[in-house]
Structure 1
């Protein structure tokens, strides 16, 4: 590997590490994923990198981690300049990446995951006593108590993330790259993660923080770098910019209203749920109207997703009724729910909403295969026309309907899930965390699509843990707490304070 030492005053720090990237290019056949990106990260700062899906953030991370070899450009760490890094060299230089999808082994203990690949030994025997003591010290450093011997699969998502961070710290990481760290976390776990970032910053850790969530950027970051279409756009001091300025830099246009102004009238009641009980919820009752976006709020364990599983037929209820226009649509399985005019856009689109190895066309036509088949075969021309229509109307960005869904950005994957269900012509659409892990531009498009569906008279049930989204998109909000319905907030009363009060205390003052 080529390396040539250069000296740059801005790349030195008391911790011995900071970063400079110069004219970094990464080309794939027909695609320039990084287009001459240059940026520097100051020692001891939290430096956010933002941009839409496809902006080049993931490629940049993988380049710094040594997983991707750049076409050209240089990376300078601790005063040493490299034309490329390998995973081993990156780790040796103190670079560690906490990916959005954890790299833990669920059937191993926390301590085994922390030291995996670099176990401590006494001679030929594992030194479990020392590893346990060091793991406990790392967890104390991060302000939590985790049993080192607990299997990772028994830990909450927040604690699993802390195990990932402890693993990085055990390898003397000095530059920590966090890729969408809050995406899988509950609101309380996000607060705990913020506290850890603050603590590491006080220790002098240099942190690159990647997130689609603007509130996190302004809460944590000292500076923000914006990438767009693989190119560097700007770096600004967080205190010297605004949310709208960042969004405009990210998408290359002005999004005047992040949440569309909806003028459609709310129609008659369509979906009526009475006394629905089971799957961890009790006696849930509400009505949803044609043209309405009915939000569902609650803290972890509130039972929002569990309620939707009952409505969608994924789980059989113990008691209660679900009616659509006075007709029972209490479904025993999702297939029956689809026939009854109910569709579910799930929270985890990769696991429950898509077949990643299938094409866009194949995913969109999946729920319709029985109706489309002729003598046991599916007319490909009909499939192609269906996919082309939805790709055009939903503005799905891909070369063709034959593109593998796993290759698409998060926002485009979400649109494919939506297209799949719209093709069934549902009357009720359930959105479970509709914009989780989606960039600001794609999120705005999803909001526009939801508003258009409401204007067409569809009934939308929306679960969201994003308070701004919940307030910005909902006509009314049903608040749950530990499986019990606490109230329904009408539009004038929807506020963060009222939602959190009902979700945590059960009643408004």
Structure 2
């Protein structure tokens, strides 16, 4: 049977603005009948915004959407769903207290003669549908009683069962077991055969090359590339996602380690052994020595942030241990990690860092208050000395220590957070994307500060999606992929090209220089 070549769903030069941000800049995407189309890009690339425009969560500020050749404008997700566009999100968005059967057939329940729901038929239909997805569960149980993976499969079954012509899958395998992933791929194959199109959002390269026909790469709100996936090698795909031209990377080569630490302590200041969390981390072992900057490289979702959060007790793990200055952390909590001498600067400073309603002074002193107290009383003079010291040392630009921190620039807010944790006199500092979202001048100052901190003997774990920054700042780099360390780079191997090669290598392969 010859398939129609007319696009099922088409976005043409779509733009979307938010205050201070152009999230989508004339983005075009075309989805053919039965096509599985990969949508990829790093944090902030615009993937989520584009999905929300396609599904009626956001209205575009410019451009056009067409479905089956006809112009459309969705005001709500329900309108998009009624038009035949279903979405499966990474976080299951069903009703946990409702039964599996009701969730699956909500709005499409079989009715009896008097108009009530025919429960026997409801349960029989639900069991029949789920059997096709490899699920054999009691459909009368609440959805929340199932594993996260099983809930995800219920969400998938519901999305496909509502007469969808387009299914958008956002990281659908993040909570699935290998058997469930195989079932999902089988379902996607059946959708393809039925002419149902799929937009597949994932950071897992193995999956993309296994099931996707074409790929669109977004970077900084623009289309960096679109075309067949089969002819695009992995290294080239990663370079497109990260915005680094391969020829340029090879010409520049390694900027070299920022410094070679002298007299590094034989015992690491912070070390992990076999950290594991289901679907997130797999046997992650790292060590950071005194005066050393260790970089964590990898794509979005590789496990970088999760590793740092596991170290400071902000994310529970199923196995493994964290050792600080030779002493295992017995009680895993953020407070315990801070007391032991490990602090973390989070990626999202607004959501997890600064307290916007407080002053610069209060934000800096927040964590150190217990250390500054004498007999339960904190001296204002002691706080002022600490705050003045770190505002001067980090060159924080503010009208006064009493200025509200939300009034500062992004770079100065980042310095305030750094000051808060440096006031704790840590042994190790974990920095998650410390220069993201700040201007060029502030970025250079933060990079210089990282070098100074390591030079003063602090152990630094640096997470950055900026390859140039990672290479120039790090003494060693550990590359993560799918929650596991897949390469350790040191010396002459600390290059952008080696990082990308390690990310691109298939499971079991060694990266090539």
TM range (shorter): 0.5 to 0.7
The 8 Å contact of residues 388 and 401 in structure 1, kept in 2 or not, is answered as no
The change in CA–CA distance for 1:219 and 1:261 in structure 2 (over 3 A counts) is farther
Shift of 1:103: 0.8
Counterpart in the other structure of 2:164: 173
User: Which of 200, 205, 212 is equivalent to 2:203?
Assistant: 212
Candidates 199, 209, 219, aligned match of 1:228 = 219
The one-character-per-residue Cα deviations of 1:350-391 (angstroms, maximum 9, x if unpaired) are 9xx937986898988754454577549987994997799599
1:56-88 CA-partner distances (Å, limit 9, x unpaired)? 221211111111111232211122212445323
Q: RMSD over aligned Cα, in angstroms?
A: 5.5
- In the TM superposition, residue 151 of structure 1 has moved relative to its aligned partner by 2.5
Mapped pair 1:56 → 2:54: no
Q: Deviations over 1:116-175 (max 9, x none)?
A: 355443334222222222222221222332331232222222111111111212312120
1:11 corresponds in structure 2 to 6
Query: What TM-score, normalized by structure 2, do the two folds share?
Result: 0.62
Residue in structure 2 matched with residue 163 of structure 1 by the alignment: 154
Aligned residue runs from structure 1 range 42-53, under 5 A: 42-53=32-43
Query: Which residue of structure 2 aligns with residue 35 of structure 1?
Result: 25
Q: Is structure 2 residue 465 aligned with structure 1 residue 470?
A: no
Aligned to 1:268: 266
Kindly state the Cα deviation for residue 35 of structure 1 after the two structures are TM-superposed: 1.9
The 8 Å contact of residues 22 and 36 in structure 1, kept in 2 or not, is answered as yes
Distance in 2 (alpha carbons) for counterparts of 1:63 and 1:120 = 33
Aligned residues: 417
Cross-structure match for 1:483: none
Please name the residue that 2:62 is paired with. 72
How do residues 128-207 of structure 1 correspond to structure 2 at under 5 angstroms? 128-185=119-176, 189-207=180-198
Q: Deviations over 1:474-509 (max 9, x none)?
A: 89xxxxxxxxxxxxxxxxxxx9669xxxxxxxxxxx
User: 2:150 aligns to what SS in structure 1?
Assistant: helix
Distance 1:34 1:323 in 2: 44
In the other structure, the counterpart of 1:490 is: none
The answer on 1:100 being equivalent to 2:90 is yes
Q: TM-score, normalised by structure 1?
A: 0.63
Over 3 Å counting, the alpha-carbon distance change for 1:329 and 1:32 in structure 2 is closer
Q: Is residue 81 from structure 1 mapped to residue 71 from structure 2 by the alignment?
A: yes
Helix, strand or coil: the match of 1:215?
Answer: helix
Cα pair 2:312 2:333 within 8 Å, conserved: no
**Paired residues of 1:345 and 1:417 also in contact (CA < 8 A):** yes
1:41–1:310 CA distance, 2 compared to 1 (3 A): closer
User: What aligned pairs does 1:210-359 form with structure 2 within 5 A after superposition?
Assistant: 210-254=201-245, 256=249, 268-270=266-268, 290=289, 324-325=324-325, 330-331=330-331, 334-343=334-343, 354=352
Deviation at 1:450, TM superposition (A): 10
Instruction: Tell me by how many angstroms 1:98 deviates.
Output: 1.0
Q: 1:337-416 residue pairs with structure 2 within 5 A?
A: 337-343=337-343, 354=352, 367-371=367-371, 375=380, 382=387, 402=406
Query: In structure 2, do the counterparts of structure 1 residues 310 and 223 end up closer, same or farther at CA, with 3 Å as the change threshold?
Result: closer
Could you tell me which runs of 5 or more consecutive residues in structure 2 were left unpaired when the two chains were aligned. 297-305, 373-377, 398-403, 437-462, 491-505
More divergent stretch after superposition (418-427 vs 125-134): 418-427
For the residues of structure 1 that align with 2:118 and 2:354, how far apart are their CA atoms?
Answer: 42
Deviations 1:255-298 (A, max 9, x none): 7499999796885134799999xx99xxx9x9967369799xxx
Q: Per the alignment, in what secondary structure is the counterpart of residue 472 of structure 1?
A: strand
**Residues 215 and 384 from structure 1, CA distance in 2 versus in 1: closer, same or farther, beyond 3 angstroms?**
farther
Question: 1:209 Cα shift?
Answer: 0.8
Give the corresponding residue for 2:465. 444
CA distance in 1, matches of 2:341, 2:69: 62
